[in-house]
Structure 1
């Protein structure tokens, strides 16, 4: 075998660095964030790291060098252990489903229904109402709900709702809400210490079964997704801030998991995690639950754009007793997030 040229040696050194980052990313989801908080930020850049390692694999294959094995082996482990961030339409959505036996659920971070005019439009609120009415899910969960929704008659096709503003506008807290066609038996919040974010849950009576639905909005990094923002911040400060947010998210995820472990009936978790599926935060909440995108999604599953790259940070997770019949991502520009919807069925209702 021919020796590597000087350029190839430099390229292989860069390959080793990229492979090291990917190897670290394989550990991050399974090690508590509090133990590796300084490295947890790696979970946000896993898609970029995977793409870089793929480039190295193709390069070495074209050069007919065995060096491709380094990144190739790690990419195989990544796919098996953590799952893809892009899915081909191999898992067909079930369309032949009796609607009386299925449950459709949508989640959407609506960014206050454009209350602060982040989008240059005067009727975002009505556009959101029209969109939800058209898709007509059985249950819709909003993060960053518009304050007035506590008293207005919007979405009147839903007989039951919980708009939590106990921690609302005047206390600087983000408001969550749940709208349901099925009776809501219990409502409550899971307040997050020293944070403007929080979680709520509702117990819903669905065909004689009680289901607990958690609506989450975890700690935000509050970094406007633009290159200028990253360039203008000192890297040390940016890293320290990100580390602090990761620890907050871990604390919040642990509170949610603690509550989930105390519930005996079936659970659904939805919302804005402000983190990727490659984080320990996601793993703490998910546990043995199914991810509707990994079950029936396709494409990138984008719910947010970071530096124009599609990321998935909003989720629908369900207990194993649910069958995921379909998953949809919607390309509608009504917020900085994009809504998703899944159709489910309890296996006992088949």
Structure 2
């Protein structure tokens, strides 16, 4: 075998480093964040690491070198174990959707309906209401809702709602809300210690079945997704901040999981996890639930962007007793997040 040139040796060294990071990312989802909090941060950059390894694999293939097996094998394991961040076909079959037996659920981090004027548009609130009305989901879960929703009559087509806000002085707590066309028979919340975030849940009566729906907003990294932010922040401080957030998310995920295990109801979890599908946090909450994007999604499944790269940090996860009929990502720029919607049907109602 012909020896590698000096340039190829440098390439192989970089390839080895990228492969090592990918190996760590393969392990991170299955190891407790509390045990490997420093390594868990790798889950945030998995799409980039996968792309790097793909480039290296193609490079060696074009050079007809067996070195492609290093990244190639790891990429195969990544795909089989953790699932893709891009899907070619969604498999949606609208003809298979019986509106009497199925229901749709939307999740959307609305960033307080632009209350702080992050977007230069005076009509964001009305546009969000118009967007929801147009797509007409049976259930809508907002993260970072608007406190005025507690008492206004917007989205009046929904006969039931739970806006998790206590009247009085606003203390900076992030507000979650659920609007439903089906009766809500119970409401409650799961507080997160030392955090402005939380999760709420509602028990909803759907065709004589009680379903518990969790609306989740995990701890945010509060890092503006721009290159200047990353350049200006000291790398050690940025890493430590990310590690600290991962630990908080892990504690919050455990609280949600404990509540989920304490109920016998069929469960649906939606919301903003502020983390990728390659994290231990995501896998802790997901358990055996089905991810609507992995079942029926297509493309990148973008719900957020970092450095203009589409990533998925918002999810709809459904109990295995639900069949996922469709999943839709929307492109409307009404927040820093993009809304998602899924159509589900209980398998017992087929």
- TM-score, scaled relative to structure 1: 0.99
* Structure 2 counterpart of 1:304: 304
In the aligned structure 2, how far is the partner of 1:342 from the partner of 1:218?
21
Residues 201 and 213 of structure 2 are in contact (CA less than 8 Å); yes or no, is this contact kept in structure 1? yes
* Structure 2 counterpart of 1:96: 96
CA deviation profile, 1:158-194 (whole Å, cap 9, x unmatched): 0000000139862221000000000000000000000
Alignment of 1:117 with 2:117, yes or no, is yes
Residues 268 and 319 of structure 1 are in contact (CA less than 8 Å); yes or no, is this contact kept in structure 2? yes
Alignment of 1:65 with 2:39, yes or no, is no
* Structure 1 counterpart of 2:43: 43
In the aligned structure 2, how far is the partner of 1:253 from the partner of 1:95?
36
In the aligned structure 1, how far is the partner of 2:180 from the partner of 2:293?
22
Alignment of 1:1-350 (within 5 A): 1-89=1-89, 91-166=91-166, 170-350=170-350
In the aligned structure 1, how far is the partner of 2:91 from the partner of 2:174?
36
- TM-score, scaled relative to structure 2: 0.99
Residues 210 and 265 of structure 1 are in contact (CA less than 8 Å); yes or no, is this contact kept in structure 2? yes
Residues 182 and 204 of structure 1 are in contact (CA less than 8 Å); yes or no, is this contact kept in structure 2? yes
- The answer for unaligned runs of 5 or more in structure 1 is none
CA deviation profile, 1:175-227 (whole Å, cap 9, x unmatched): 00000000000000000000000000000000000000000000000000000
SS of the equivalent of 2:252 reads helix
1:94 positional shift: 3.5
Residues 92 and 327 of structure 2 are in contact (CA less than 8 Å); yes or no, is this contact kept in structure 1? no
**Range with greater deviation from structure 2 (83-92 or 275-284):** 83-92
In the aligned structure 1, how far is the partner of 2:306 from the partner of 2:244?
20
- Corresponding pairs, count: 350
Runs of 4+ in 1 over 6 A off after TM superposition: none
**Range with greater deviation from structure 2 (183-192 or 96-105):** 96-105
SS of the equivalent of 2:38 reads coil
1:291 positional shift: 0.1
Residues 96 and 325 of structure 2 are in contact (CA less than 8 Å); yes or no, is this contact kept in structure 1? no
CA deviation profile, 1:37-70 (whole Å, cap 9, x unmatched): 0111100100000000000000000000000000
Residues 93 and 327 of structure 1 are in contact (CA less than 8 Å); yes or no, is this contact kept in structure 2? no
1:96 positional shift: 3.0
Residues 147 and 169 of structure 1 are in contact (CA less than 8 Å); yes or no, is this contact kept in structure 2? no
Q: Give the aligned CA root-mean-square deviation in angstroms.
A: 1.0
Residues 108 and 337 of structure 2 are in contact (CA less than 8 Å); yes or no, is this contact kept in structure 1? yes
